[in-house]
Homo-oligomer: A and B are copies of this chain.
Amino acid sequence: MKLRENYTCPLEMTHDIIRGKWKPIILWQLGKSRSSLANLERDIQGITQKMLLEHLKELLDYDVVAKQSFEEYPLRVEYFLTERGEKLLEAVVIMQGIGIQLMQESGMESILKEKGLIG
């Protein structure tokens, strides 16, 4: 994800931060609970390790996510939302709500039910 060097609008900046294909889902997952790389990889359907790491790195760079490494074997790392990340999650929650609505309109309720997102 290449960020621009010049921003003429603050919105562009935040949007660039959340732009990648998987960023909102990562935030969503971390909003549920701090998590390891492997767990995220398992919880986010279809993501590759490469994409996950790449996106996490950007989120780290922008202080949206932070991580804690434990010096032990096997290696253990935990990623979690920063205060800014929690704030951004509010936007993600709104998007999730709209998504649910969209899926209901398109007859994709079955998926929502599977996930326990609706009754």
Contact = CB atoms under 8 A, between A and B. Distances in A.
B96 A94 contact: no
Q: How many copies does the complex hold?
A: 2
B15 A103 contact: no
A67 to B, nearest CB: 20
Contacts of A7: 99, 103, 108, 111
Contact of A13 (B10, B46, B90, B103): B103
Contact of A94 (B13, B90, B108): B90
Secondary structure class of chain A's binding surface, majority of residues: helix
Size bin of chain A's contact surface:
35 or more
A62 B6 CA distance: 30
A1 B10 CA distance: 23
